[in-house]
């Protein structure tokens, strides 16, 4: 496990504990996702945060101006602390670790489903129920469409990939045929 991963988990656990004490676990997740999304989605913001010629006070002031009305003090304090310590690049890892910690404690998992066509709400519910029963957790499904998938779908929950795609089945068949031919 890399040093960055360990650091991200420590920050995430501390943030989760504070959010849980205040009854703001879901709100904290949404706010942290928004801040990470804004920073990750804009190269100029990332460049500003790592620029050595910009003072720490200006970076923190810009952070408060941008997110002060949209994020709770505990989220802003975490992001400020990461910036102060030169660890702003760890924000996505902290978000991922927060989702993991919250999921473990709340018995919740996120399923990222890739399909060739958009899933209906009913299909998402059925997938959530099926994987929820398997994992013993409440599953939240997000859907991404990949037309190159041909058919079927892939489901990623944490580090586990369930490949039920036509492309994956064809690749496994091809590999089996190549092994049998040897």
- The CATH number given to whatever domain includes residue 12 is 1.10.520.20
CB distance 126 to 40 below 8 Å? no
What pLDDT is recorded for position 70?
A: 86
C-alpha distances in Å from residue 10, one per residue of 4, 58, 149: 10, 26, 37
CATH value at residue 163: 3.40.30
pLDDT digits (tens, 9 = 90+) for 111-161: 999 998 999 999 999 999 999 999 889 999 999 999 888 888 999 998 889
What gap in Å lies between CA 169 and CA 20, rounded to an integer?
Answer: 43
Half-sphere exposure of 25 (CA within 13 A, CB side): 16
Domain count, the chain: 2
Half-sphere exposure of 74 (CA within 13 A, CB side): 20
Do 134 and 80 belong to one domain?
no
Last residue of a domain, one of 59, 85, 103: 103
What pLDDT is recorded for position 2?
A: 56
C-alpha distances in Å from residue 105, one per residue of 3, 10, 13, 16, 20: 23, 15, 11, 10, 10
What pLDDT is recorded for position 167?
A: 83
Do 75 and 112 belong to one domain?
no
Do 78 and 142 belong to one domain?
no
What pLDDT is recorded for position 79?
A: 92
Task: Provide the whole-model pTM.
Answer: 0.72
What pLDDT is recorded for position 32?
A: 94
Do 115 and 174 belong to one domain?
yes
Do 46 and 92 belong to one domain?
yes
Q: Which residue has the tokens 């068949």?
A: 173
Q: Which residues 6+ apart lie within 8 Å of 149 measured at CB?
A: 114, 115, 116, 165, 166, 167
What pLDDT is recorded for position 131?
A: 93
118: containing domain: 108-181
- Grouping H, G, I as helix, E, B as strand and the rest as coil, residue 111 is strand
What gap in Å lies between CA 174 and CA 182, rounded to an integer?
Answer: 13
Do 95 and 112 belong to one domain?
no
Low-confidence residues of the chain, pLDDT below 50?
Answer: none
CA 68 to chain centroid: 22
Helix 73-84 / helix 56-67 crossing angle, nearest 10 deg: 150
What pLDDT is recorded for position 100?
A: 87
- Phi then psi for 112, rounded to 5 degrees? -100, 110
Tokens of 8: 């991200």
Tokens of 86: 């030169």
What pLDDT is recorded for position 114?
A: 94
């Amino acid at each position: 496990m890399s040093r960055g991963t360990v650091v991200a988990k420590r920050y995430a656990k501390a943030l989760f504990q504070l959010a849980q004490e205040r009854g703001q676990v879901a709100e904290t997740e949404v706010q942290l996702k928004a801040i990470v999304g804004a920073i990750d989605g804009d190269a100029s913001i990332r460049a500003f945060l790592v620029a050595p010629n910009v003072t720490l006070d200006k970076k923190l002031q810009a952070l408060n101006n941008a997110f002060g009305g949209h994020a709770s003090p505990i989220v802003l304090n975490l992001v400020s602390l990461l910036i102060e310590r030169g660890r702003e690049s760890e924000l996505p890892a902290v978000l991922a670790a927060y989702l993991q910690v919250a999921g473990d404690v709340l018995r919740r998992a996120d399923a990222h489903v890739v399909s060739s066509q958009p899933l209906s709400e009913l299909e998402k519910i059925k997938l959530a129920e099926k994987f929820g029963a398997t994992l013993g957790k409440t599953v939240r499904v997000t859907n991404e469409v990949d037309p190159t998938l041909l058919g079927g779908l892939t489901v990623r929950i944490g580090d586990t990939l369930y490949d039920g795609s036509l492309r994956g089945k064809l690749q496994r068949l091809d590999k089996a045929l190549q092994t049998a031919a040897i």
